[in-house]
Amino acid sequence: MPTTAWRFTGTEGADAAVLRLKQLDSQGLIDVHDVAVIRWPHYAGMPLVHEHVTEEGSAVTSFMQKFKHGTIDGSMIEAVKGDLTPGTSALVLLSTDAAVDKIAQSGFAGQGMELIRSDLSVQAQDQIRAALGKSAGTSP
């Protein structure tokens, strides 16, 4: 399952992206398996991490979800923490079956975000960047 990490210009950008991903998942445009949100408020000495933010229900349900779906590797979260500066946030996403062009057009146009880490091929990363560039009205 591909893992991508996205940096946002503000501390709330990743939170807004999680809400939008839940909507896109319910529309069948992406299959979200796990999400971690990392934010670095100006007042904090280091980034704050919130893992598994899309899981709902009891602890047993969350535990079973980990077996049903993959989880984000801790080394990816640590690497993304190192990519942040005070006043920014990041979203680390484990997903499959993403309709990249439709997601870019309907979900993330003009969001002030950038792909900072990924285990995707270079070609797939370029496709994502191009789709986001087109949806924001800029050239890739």
Q: Is residue 122 part of a domain?
A: yes
Give the pLDDT score at 109: 63
CA atoms within 13 A on the CB side of 67: 4
Give the pLDDT score at 55: 57
E strands within 65-126?
88-96, 113-118
Q: Is residue 52 part of a domain?
A: yes
CA distances 41 to 12, 48, 108, 129, Å, are 9, 8, 22, 27
Give the pLDDT score at 110: 66
Q: Is residue 46 part of a domain?
A: yes
Q: Is residue 140 part of a domain?
A: no
* Structural domain boundaries enclosing 27: 3-135
Q: 17-26, 70-79, 124-133 — which is least confidently predicted?
A: 124-133
Q: Are 121 and 34 in contact (CB under 8 A)?
A: no
Give the pLDDT score at 101: 78
Note the pLDDT tens digit of each residue in 63-101.
444 444 568 888 999 999 999 999 999 999 998 888 887
Of residues 27 and 140, the one with the higher pLDDT is: 27
CA distances 47 to 25, 35, 138, Å, are 27, 16, 31
Note the pLDDT tens digit of each residue in 29-63.
888 888 999 999 999 999 999 887 765 443 444 44
Whether pLDDT at 15 is above 60: yes
Q: Is residue 61 part of a domain?
A: yes
CA atoms within 13 A on the CB side of 39: 16
Give the pLDDT score at 130: 83
Q: Is residue 98 part of a domain?
A: yes
Q: Is residue 15 part of a domain?
A: yes
Whether pLDDT at 5 is above 90: yes
Q: Is residue 14 part of a domain?
A: yes
Give the pLDDT score at 45: 93
Overall number of domains in the chain = 1
- Structure tokens belonging to residue 99: 């309709």
Give the pLDDT score at 100: 80
